[in-house]
């Protein structure tokens, strides 16, 4: 059975870090639409140039662009044993499109990482990104202030400045939070306390995936409620 996981949660919830850990542990690809878009911006591709200003403002990229990116990615052979989606879907329209893409595949495990807004603001205010390759800093780089991937200097993300953070929260509340309601009644949905330490969140996610991935849906529903 393939392990197909969606990571939901507001900006700063730790979706990227946790998605990478789940993917590495299970030997499945992490599909980060944010990373795909930032790479496109960095390399000045057609898509990158079209979405640069949108991302810098903290707005959502159009459904058509995002659905197209994910549709192409899910056609590759490396997702046959599963995947972890980070950053998609972000709207109900994207979620409905993903349901169509999943036709004939194993069910989606939907994990919603919940963190108080005050903690999210604190995290986003200190988050850094490589100015060269666009990789998010982990806080464990071998050389302080330098990217552990390419050695480039770390800078604050353009979408993490105060005004943009407020806009991103607003966008999340109006466009992305309804996803929780879209998925909540599914037997493969689970909310996770993201205010714990990163390692505790990892353990909680692993336990949820084990339970939901083995079809113990009745127990899962009771724990979600």
| 157 tagged catalytic | yes
Catalytic residue selected from 26, 30, 168, 190: 168
Q: Cis peptide leading into 182, omega within 30 of 0?
A: no
Catalytic residue selected from 76, 157, 170, 222: 157
| 223 tagged catalytic | no
| 168 tagged catalytic | yes
| 122 tagged catalytic | no
Catalytic residue selected from 21, 30, 90, 190: 90
Tokens of 107: 């069910």
| 90 tagged catalytic | yes
In terms of Cβ atoms closer than 10 Å to its own Cβ (0-12, 13-18, 19+), residue 148 is middle
Residues in contact with 107: Cβ distance below 8 Å, sequence separation at least 6, in sequence order: 4, 188
How far apart CA 9 and CA 163 sit, in angstroms, is 20
Alpha carbon distance, N-terminus to C-terminus of the chain: 26
Catalytic residue selected from 122, 127, 149, 186: 127
Catalytic residue selected from 15, 21, 38, 73: 15
Would you name the residues annotated as active-site residues?
15, 90, 127, 157, 168
């Amino acid at each position: 059975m393939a392990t197909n996981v969606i990571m939901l949660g507001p900006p700063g919830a730790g979706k990227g870090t946790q998605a990478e850990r789940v993917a590495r542990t299970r030997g499945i690809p992490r599909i980060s639409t944010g990373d795909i878009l930032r790479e496109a911006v960095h390399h000045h591709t057609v898509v990158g140039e079209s979405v640069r200003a949108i991302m810098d403002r903290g707005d959502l990229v159009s459904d058509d662009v995002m659905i197209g990116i994910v549709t192409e990615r899910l056609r590759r052979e490396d997702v046959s044993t599963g995947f972890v989606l980070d950053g998609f879907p972000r709207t109900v329209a994207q979620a409905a499109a993903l349901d169509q893409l999943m036709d004939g595949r194993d069910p989606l495990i939907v994990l919603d990482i919940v963190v108080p807004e005050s903690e999210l603001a604190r995290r986003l205010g200190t988050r850094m990104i490589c100015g060269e390759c666009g990789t998010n800093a982990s806080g464990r780089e071998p050389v302080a202030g330098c990217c552990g991937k390419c050695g480039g200097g770390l800078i604050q993300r353009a979408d993490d400045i105060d005004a943009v953070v407020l806009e991103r929260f607003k966008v999340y509340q109006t466009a992305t939070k309804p996803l929780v309601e879209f998925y909540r009644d599914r037997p493969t949905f689970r909310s996770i306390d993201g205010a714990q330490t990163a390692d505790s969140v990892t353990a909680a996610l692993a336990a949820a995936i084990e339970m939901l991935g083995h079809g113990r849906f009745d127990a899962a529903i009771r724990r979600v409620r």
